[in-house]
Amino acid sequence: MSTPTGPGYQLPKRRRIYLMRHGDVTYFDASGQTIDPERVPLNDNGCAQADAAGRAFAGQNVRFDRVIASGMPRTVETAQRVLAQMGQHADIGIEPAWEEIRGGKPGSIPPADLEAAFLGAFDGIVAEDMKFLGGETIGELFDRVLPAMAALRDDPSWDVVLLVLHGGVNRAILSHAITAGGRTFFGHLAQATGCINALDVGDAPRDWVVRLINHSPPSPLHRDVRNTTMEMLYAQFIQSRRN
């Protein structure tokens, strides 16, 4: 069905951002030791999630004009697997400003404060001065994520772009979009590993349309998940300290 456009009305033109979170990774080895989060690769589940996302894009005949990852191995590997499933050859650009929110050292946090340090930054509507694990604040996260997003929007060379980033960064971008260009941070926006979000942007800075949030191709209904990523990570951290 054609869309009516009355006299003098021009339908807005928008471009599409597909925003993914990297596939699943393992942050603690079998002995309970922490694996360097800046180098950790996808685990088997993460590989399957990335492949499923690639097949979902291929099934809808999606093609990307640009592909950008944060540079952390788990985002680059996810992007590579997505492209492989699509049969698309593309250079993967790197944007360090979209690396994950930077935590401090959990070992330096008093035991009584650990739970709040792990969970507070993603608990409801979060103030900009809230620190993640004693490290970067939500305001500092916005300060580096949003200028890079503005620069991407100023680039006229693309119509469809894939960003493969992280849970905290994705929440900052989604919160910015939901508030039409604001800085309110919604920590309770779930971002499953390997999930896909779809956002449309127009020429005006406030022109955001949120199409899709947290679509997980292997499990679209999220049937078996009732806990947040940080809750599960905190449980793993506590278990690792007991080993």
Q: Which helix (H) or strand (E) holds 214?
A: strand 208-215
Q: Which residue has the tokens 């809808």?
A: 60
Average model confidence (pLDDT) across the chain: 92
Q: Where are the domains of the chain?
A: 15-242
Q: How far is CA 129 from CA 35, 149, 155, 224, 236, in A?
A: 28, 21, 31, 33, 26
Q: Which residue has the tokens 């899709």?
A: 212
Packing angle between helix 138-154 and helix 167-178, nearest 10 degrees?
70
Give the chain's residues under pLDDT 70.
1-6, 30-33, 35, 243
The reported pLDDT for the residue numbered 142 is 98
The reported pLDDT for the residue numbered 93 is 98
Give the Cα separation of 229 and 101 in Å (integer).
14
CATH H-level, domain 15-242: superfamily: Phosphoglycerate mutase-like (3.40.50.1240)
